[in-house]
Structure 1
């Protein structure tokens, strides 16, 4: 028989807790002493109580059986097949292929994989009906689950230009593909761009939902879940709440279009807080970020190798990244509980506040012509840059800390001879329809100065 261990204690209301804290402050102002504001304007209190959650928003999801995903850039098909099979043998449960050339032998790649049990995602730098049909034919033969992840709006935001297609617009091509492949998950929203470029969390949520709303408006045939790619940072509880808030607002918007399927969250750690110096710290950062992704309800998690900034893809970095997720799944049992954040008043409060603020921003975007119009006008980029500049100022002042980079530096750490990749923003002057949104890490300036002095 279960016994209530606390029945001998009188209940304590939030008002009583606040009075006790105020007494202990010995006259100091409660609001200024123990409540702090996040960059998003979220008020974080010293305690949370159930009597303040009568009308709390609810996350409608049971996503806890997350898949461990391996990212693979496809250049040499044979090597990609070998790497994919090796990754699956070593613990990966799904695959994400990045492909830039539509001449890649996609049939050979997919025929060599056990698609029956392995969901496959694509990150394509083009949009092509024939290529999609080749994938669909093999997926049907092998009863595979494919997410095509076509995102021309994301392409425009990231590159400054639409995909090149034989049709008048990218949306014409999307509608043709949707007609030919009506039961395929063709659409994706790459909101990771906004986080990696410096958007705050309210912006990330609102932009992701407004981005999705553009597709609901323009693509009438949507019979499968939309994939939302999300990057998570190191603000642990806020990141959990961010993912939950995305689901809430997506469901609200989708219902207006009679779309009853939930979104599919494909989550990866952010690049924005990763560093070249003291690079092993990146592994600590990605561990907590993957934990936040899982607790926040990610369907699929693709970890970022600790050395991804400066090393080419390598077996050791991939293995370590997968093992972090394998430990979380098989030793920490993070996949055994549905909605593990439920009942945490702090996370519930953060979720509500982020969702409410993001909804206000979403409505403002829609009242001013929609996400695509504001993207073309440069409003989205400008707002993101304003948030990025505020975060950069905090980092430069030492108020936002990256251990080993702007605090507790190891002066003996040398990296110049260890760089296989260029880890900084690359400028590629060319003619574009709009100025693209650029991903930039907050440690770049400090690192460039240190490299120059080695």
Structure 2
């Protein structure tokens, strides 16, 4: 329909909406859920429903027009809405767009890797990410691994760390024998500052400048800014972005000092960022990254040079427990990166934490992208999030927060100096401690790990992966503390257990018993329920019969008031070494230990495993 209908009114039957009316309705819901009282003013709704990111960005419950800068048009500076216009066919018709589907390979078994590469390229993968050296394939095996790969059709991204020069020489030999235009889009992966951050070895920028002199104008990129090292240290999105821009600026200075024109120097760099299961922050991250780099390009005199982006699903968010949930995490991350406009996307196989992926997990990883591209048609629309007041506002605020990080690093003398002085590590550690506390208190829940664990799961067996490069910034995973407790519990001669001392009828204790079971099972601790309607003497008898030494009282506050003290005393007389109460702190004067929503779950589980004599 090109002419507005005179008969159809989309808002017919609805009263005009305004923010004041929305606040009134939201406040009524908050009052029913007891998050607000009758005295709470309507103006407080925004604060009650708002959250704050690790960068201090306030996520509001409602966004309206205005407040964000004009993002520009797709394909034009500042490239917030994407780097390219939609491609067209030779006949002038539209061709579906999308992104480069890039699969990572690090299996040192050359035969196995060749077979895996062939399967990938035959089934939707469009480029390859090869890890070479001690962390992956032998560098000398590169020609053999790529024997059957057409470099003009499948670009290669090399990740060789300290052996980048050697790997580049091997690749130059292969590219020389490729058809005209072959190897365009490939990347030699020279990232001396990123390598320094990972290993602690001083950065040698001549690796980048020497290779860039040879690749300039060939369509092969020499340089990489791998910002995932900062994400994998537990850093925030703005820190990841700001440190990447600081690294990019350091490389830009080195390349131009080596004689490359600014435009050519900018084109030598690709940026690698982590995509997480927070889809909106991921969308905003990739849009903000392009805006930040566009500003650098503008002041450098080459405003038409966009940032080339490679998105990798976060390794920090991946879990070793209930690894199948990783399928959902990586799907959300891939969605966010695709909507955010990443040029290339790598989806980690769901079993990546357990070791080298098998054929099935690699297939699911690439099919995740195929589904989003082919079935969901994400690549057919330019910047689908553009115009969303929330996304535009989040992009703007994230860009400003990242610019603060970048300028702070520049004031410290640049990224190399900030790494050497320990400033970067200290700043990242501050955010990690905040994140670690939120994970421990389950304010940042991990499905299958800190929430809804499965004690009977049978994990897939995988060949161990080569040890990653280390020696520099620490590498963390969000699930690591809970999974360490699970590992300790699993290694015990007998499954540790606690007794759920349920008081009253089933309907009275089910909610808190379920909560307590979920919490303790997150540490690999079995929970033994007492059953309904037991008196103190029966409860004590059931506790003795269970063989447990730790009990958890579960019921309503009303029943605690009448029977709680008697039940606690009976459990102590029956030999309970510690009694926890599922409820608010201070509910019973003779009980010192409480579990409740927002409690330090890692602390509770650590204490309980110690009480049960489980070695950690």
Root-mean-square deviation (CA, aligned residues, Å) is: 2.7
* 1:228 aligned counterpart, secondary structure: strand
Confirm whether residue 367 of structure 1 aligns to residue 411 of structure 2: yes
| Structure 1 residues 306 and 62: alpha-carbon distance in aligned structure 2, compared to 1, 3 A threshold | same
Partner of 1:266: 310
Distance 1:427 1:205 in 2: 22
Q: Is the 8 A contact 1:244 1:296 kept in 2?
A: yes
Do structure 1's residue 44 and structure 2's residue 65 form an aligned pair? no
SS in structure 2 at match of 1:392: helix
Distance in 2 between the 1:126 and 1:74 partners?
Answer: 18
CA deviations 1:20-62 (Å, max 9, x no partner) are 2333337242342233322211122222222434656761524
Contact 1:197 1:438 in 2 (8 A): yes
Name the SS for the 1:268 alignment partner.
Answer: strand
State the Cα distance separating 1:153 from its structure 2 match.
0.4
Change (3 A) 1:426 1:228: closer
Distance in 2 between residues matched to 1:120 and 1:406, nearest whole Å: 38
Q: TM-score, normalised by structure 2?
A: 0.66
Give the secondary-structure state (helix, strand or coil) at the position aligned to 1:138.
helix
Instruction: Check if 1:27 corresponds to 2:41.
Output: yes
- CA distance in 2 between counterparts of 1:31 and 1:252 reads 33
Query: CA separation in 2, counterparts of 1:144 and 1:180?
Result: 14
How far residue 320 of structure 1 moved from its aligned partner, in angstroms, is 1.0
The unaligned stretches of length 5 or more in structure 2 are 28-39, 73-77, 85-96, 491-616
Shift of 1:372: 1.2
1:217 aligns with 2:253: yes
Deviation at 1:394, TM superposition (A): 0.5
Give the alignment's TM-score, normalised by structure 1. 0.89
Shift of residue 2, structure 1, vs aligned partner: 3.0
1:99 pairs with 125, 132, 147, which one? 132
Deviates most, 402-411 or 128-137: 128-137
How far 1:82 sits from its partner (Å)?
2.6
Where does residue 103 of structure 2 map in the other structure?
70
1:351 shift after superposition: 0.0
- 2:475 — aligned with what? 439
Aligned match for 1:85, one of 118, 127, 131: 118
| Equivalent residue for 2:269, pick from 208, 226, 231 | 226
Task: Tell me if the contact between 1:157 and 1:436 (Cα under 8 Å) persists in the aligned partners.
Answer: yes
Flag structure 1 segments of 5+ consecutive residues without an equivalent. 164-169, 429-434
Deviation string, structure 1 residues 114-170 (Cα, Å, up to 9, x no partner): 11211111111234546424423432432122211110100000011147xxxxxx2
**Aligned positions of 1:331-346 closer than 5 A:** 331-346=375-390
Number of residues of Structure 1 aligned to a counterpart in Structure 2: 438
DSSP 3-state at the match of 1:189? strand
2:176 is aligned with 1:176: no
CA–CA distance in 2 between the matches of 1:293 and 1:383?
Answer: 26
Check the 8 A contact 1:119/1:144 in 2, yes or no: yes
1:395 aligns with 2:433: no
Which residue in 1 is equivalent to 2:155?
119
Higher relative contact order (CA 8 A, sep 6+): 1
Q: In the alignment, which residue of structure 1 is the partner of 2:549?
A: none
Larger Rg: 2
Deviates most, 27-36 or 330-339: 27-36
Cα 1:449/1:368, change in 2 over 3 Å: same
Q: Secondary structure at the match of 1:350?
A: helix
Q: Which residue of 2 aligns with 1:147?
A: 187
Q: Is the 8 A contact 1:242 1:354 kept in 2?
A: yes
Which of 482, 485, 488 is equivalent to 1:449? 485
CA contact (8 A) 1:295 1:341 kept: yes
Q: Give yes or no for contact 1:230–1:266 (8 Å, CA) kept in 2.
A: yes
Aligned partner (choices 159, 172, 176) of residue 199 of structure 2 = 159
SS class of match (1:320): helix
CA distance in 1, matches of 2:192, 2:50: 42
